[in-house]
């Protein structure tokens, strides 16, 4: 099995690859463990909470938190851990994350839609999602950290171009940290 963290961030058509870690409807957050080359349980969500959409990461990227860049993929079906989706970025929710006793770090969440899905044809910019949907997404992220000593501060919803720049910067950081700069 390939190390999913090292797959290319994009394909030749410019689509972004998203590795699904936690599928829509799951009450357990999963994460990819490159040593085991398997998905492991990261944490159980609070009672009654489930992922509203697929959650994953962009391979060959490294965010400020040291992990691959996080992505919430808006679509109407659940997939499975390990599935690689070809996606279009429609925006980013900028987030400052602070753990008790530590300095705050950026842990932005990209928002994407699968290429050639029904949503892909309709959703062009996450800032155009209904205000209620954006608020529910923000509240979901707060709720996922409810049992941890983390505080999230939302800095705003940004454009697809901002999301694309975030990917490019994180890909450069990944190359640098792997001695390929």
Q: For 104-127, write each residue's pLDDT tens digit.
A: 999 999 999 999 887 667 779 999
Residue 149: predicted pLDDT: 84
Q: How many CB atoms lie within 10 A of CB 123?
A: 19
CATH number, residue 20: 3.90.80.10
Residue 7: inside a domain: no
Please enumerate in sequence order all residues whose Cβ is within 8 A of that of 113, keeping only pairs 6 or more positions apart, or say none. 73, 74, 75, 87, 88, 90, 119, 120, 123
Residue 21: inside a domain: yes
Residue 76: inside a domain: yes
Residue 9: inside a domain: no
Q: Which domain range does residue 170 map to?
A: 14-174
Q: Considering the chain, what percentage of its residues have pLDDT values greater than 70?
A: 96
Residue 60: inside a domain: yes
Question: How many structural domains comprise the chain?
Answer: 1
Residue 94: inside a domain: yes
Residue 45: inside a domain: yes
Residues 24-49 pLDDT 10s:
999 999 999 999 999 999 999 999 99
Residues 137-179 pLDDT 10s:
999 999 998 888 889 999 999 999 999 999 999 999 999 998 7
Residue 119: predicted pLDDT: 67
């Amino acid at each position: 099995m390939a190390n999913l963290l090292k797959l290319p961030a994009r394909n030749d058509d410019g689509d972004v690859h998203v590795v699904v870690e936690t599928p829509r409807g799951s009450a357990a957050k999963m994460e990819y463990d490159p040593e085991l080359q398997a998905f492991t349980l990261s944490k159980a969500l609070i009672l009654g909470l489930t992922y509203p959409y697929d959650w994953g990461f962009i391979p060959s990227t490294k965010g400020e938190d040291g992990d691959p860049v996080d992505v919430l993929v808006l679509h109407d079906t659940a997939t499975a851990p390990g599935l690689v989706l070809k996606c279009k970025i429609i925006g980013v929710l900028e987030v400052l994350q602070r753990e008790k006793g530590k300095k705050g770090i950026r842990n932005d969440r990209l928002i994407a839609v699968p290429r050639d899905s029904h949503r892909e044809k309709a959703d062009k910019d996450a800032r155009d999602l209904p205000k209620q949907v954006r608020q529910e997404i923000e509240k979901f992220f707060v709720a996922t950290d409810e049992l941890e000593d983390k505080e999230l501060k939302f800095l705003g919803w940004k454009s697809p171009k901002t999301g694309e720049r975030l990917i490019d910067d994180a890909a450069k950081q990944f190359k640098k940290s792997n001695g390929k700069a």
